[in-house]
Chain A
Amino acid sequence: MIAADRLFLEILFIGVILMTLLFINNIILYKQKVKDLISLMLLSGIVTCVLEILWVLLDGHPALTVPSYLCISLYCIAFVLFAALLDQYLFERLGIRIGKRWLIIGYAIPVAIIALLCLTTPWTRLLFWVDEGGIAHTEVFFDIFFQGVIYIYIFTPLLIAIYFLTLGKARRPADGEIPASLFVFGIMAPALYLLELLLLGKGMDVYENTSLPISLALVYLITNVSTHNALDTQAKMEAVESDLRIASKIQADALPSVAPEFADHMDLNLRGSMNTAKEVGGDFFDYFPIDENRLCFLIADVSGKGVPAALFMMTSKTMIKDYALTRDSTSEIFTEVNARLCENNDEGMFATAWIGIMDKRTMTLQYTNAGHNYPVLQRKGQPCELMKKVHGLFLGGMEFTQYRQGEIQLEPGDRLLLYTDGVVEAHNQADELYGEDRLQAVLENTRDCPGEQVLERIFADVNDFATGVPQFDDITMVVLTIKE
């Protein structure tokens, strides 16, 4: 083997490795599928280079003429497929639509003819033939037709690039950087070819070694295009993240964050807290005065998570407050809100909710539970109990649900805790649930603490319990304390 051949093989081998790495990179990092155009193109490029290596190795071995025929035939097919796929990939990337007829004339027919020539060449010798010494000789169809088709395919990107960079500036695709990469690619391939000829000192009669410069230039092109893609995706992600941050802020602002005046009445005290699992959550709580004697407070948990849940949450929250200020009873409020939420609710979103109206004169609490977790009632000097009353389906479930209501009398020293399932369904590494018992235990230990401390202690206890498990659901609580 002459030195030039050896050098050529070495460079080609590096080309194969580069393309293989790109292929793996595209599959793993950029989540391309094997049947995507870019993957198919890289694969055929790899196969072409490997077959070219084989061709050089087999050349000149008299005993290996049959493998030589096979290898060169497959090489031609792989190469023309590779070049055709390259064009298809670029058309797709640049949003250029080619009519079916032109695809058949321009690509399907030439590829089919080359495949046919490859299959028949051992007998017709139109494309190439291998002599008794095992040396391959290319023939007129190889030199003119096969190489011609390849050159046309390979120079198509350059033509497209020149078009987009000059005449077609206005019609340039959104991916503005790609024509520039194409242009470089279009120049790089022939430049590398010339360099190869100079370096290896081969005469201009050597046509067959074209796959090397093309594959190296292609490595450049794909790396470039992939980087554009990655940067593009990154920019989009950043925009989404910034939107989410703002949404999260809007949502937090919608909750009564600072304790308003009315929440600290001489007889009672209300506190709420919410810790979302994602940037935006589906839980909410609220408290507001209805008139000078009555206070409304509520908690709710919207099905699902993220942005859809947050949108539904904002709607329901506004609606509940609107109806609470104009209706007399909690059952009426939820019956009306539910009917409104069921209109155009094709997504089947819903919210479990619990609402109470406290009358400060009589210390009676009227309440309605729409499929929500049972609140914990802690009477002075008595163990905790769950308020196991359900007055109807969750909000947004069935259009004509008539909600019922209950009433209890509260006494000084009593405490009521509302919470969402993020509290009781938090689980630890052993997959155990936090549960109502642990919640009640914390309440027992904090009987003498003010409301906000109770909420802090419960949240800390849930966090301790769930150490090592990422928070899965929003954790939201409201506590009502009747002062002694």
Chain B
Amino acid sequence: MMNIIKTQSNGTLTIALEGRMDITTAPNLEQEIKNGLDGVTELVFDFAKLVYISSAGLRVLLLAQKKMNKQGSMKVIHVNEMVMEVFVTMGLADILTIE
């Protein structure tokens, strides 16, 4: 289960994720990333309520980062310890802007 909550103000889109992002839930976010980023210059992922991320989720984050490299910036906020460890292990900590 993963809930995707989107709030947009001007060019800033905040996507808050709740639950688990794994091979079954990541495709939902991928759809959002593929179709819903027109005109977005700043993308913020709020991970406050994200409890788990698998490699399928990392893949989608990377797709988002690649897309935002072309049209603006992206950052990830409120990353919990476990998710942070995954970022560090997989080498994503260097690529993403994490606050």
B94 within 8 A of A: yes
State which of A35-43, A93-101, A191-199, A386-394 sits at the interface with chain B: A386-394
Tell me whether B89 and A397 are in contact (CB under 8 A). no
Docked pose: A472 CA to B19 CA in angstroms: 21
A373 within 8 A of B: yes
Tell me whether A393 and B91 are in contact (CB under 8 A). yes
Q: Could you show 18 A-B contacts with beta carbons less than 8 Å apart?
A: A303-B56, A304-B23, A348-B60, A348-B62, A349-B59, A350-B62, A371-B91, A371-B92, A372-B89, A373-B89, A374-B89, A390-B91, A392-B91, A393-B90, A393-B94, A394-B90, A397-B62, A398-B95
A363-388 contacts to B, CB under 8 A, are 369-374
In the assembled complex, the CB of B12 is this many whole angstroms from the nearest CB of chain A, namely 24
A110-157 contacts to B, CB under 8 A, are none
Q: Chain A 301-322 against B: per-residue CB contact (8 Å), 1 yes, 0 no?
A: 0011000000000000000000
In the assembled complex, the CB of B14 is this many whole angstroms from the nearest CB of chain A, namely 23
Which residues of A are found within 8 Å of B88, using beta-carbon distances? Answer: 390
Tell me whether A350 and B59 are in contact (CB under 8 A). yes
Docked pose: A398 CA to B95 CA in angstroms: 8
- Residue on B nearest A425 in the bound complex, by CB: B54
- Centre residue among A303, A370, A392 by max chain B CB count within 10 A: A303
Given known contacts A303-B56, A348-B62, A350-B59, A393 and B89 CB-to-CB distance under 8 angstroms: no
Which residues of A are found within 8 Å of B62, using beta-carbon distances? Answer: 348, 350, 397-398
Question: How many residues belonging to B are interface residues under a CB distance threshold of 8 Å?
Answer: 17
Docked pose: A397 CA to B93 CA in angstroms: 13
Docked pose: A73 CA to B30 CA in angstroms: 52
B residues adjacent to A (C-beta < 8 A): 23, 55-56, 58-60, 62-63, 66, 88-95
Which residues of B are found within 8 Å of A391, using beta-carbon distances? Answer: 91
Tell me whether A348 and B95 are in contact (CB under 8 A). no
Which residues of B are found within 8 Å of A371, using beta-carbon distances? Answer: 89-92
Given known contacts A373-B89, A374-B89, A392 and B59 CB-to-CB distance under 8 angstroms: no
Tell me whether A348 and B92 are in contact (CB under 8 A). no
- Residue on B nearest A349 in the bound complex, by CB: B59
Which residues of B are found within 8 Å of A304, using beta-carbon distances? Answer: 23, 56
Docked pose: A349 CA to B63 CA in angstroms: 10
Not counting A390-B89, A397-B91, a sample of 16 additional A-B residue pairs whose C-beta atoms are within 8 angstroms of each other reads A348-B59, A348-B62, A348-B63, A350-B55, A371-B90, A372-B89, A390-B88, A390-B90, A390-B91, A390-B93, A391-B91, A393-B90, A393-B91, A393-B94, A393-B95, A398-B95
A331 within 8 A of B: no
Docked pose: A177 CA to B1 CA in angstroms: 45
Which residues of B are found within 8 Å of A372, using beta-carbon distances? Answer: 89
Docked pose: A304 CA to B23 CA in angstroms: 8
- Centre residue among A303, A372, A393 by max chain B CB count within 10 A: A393
A48 within 8 A of B: no
Docked pose: A206 CA to B89 CA in angstroms: 82
Docked pose: A405 CA to B52 CA in angstroms: 29
Which residues of B are found within 8 Å of A393, using beta-carbon distances? Answer: 90-92, 94-95
Docked pose: A208 CA to B91 CA in angstroms: 77
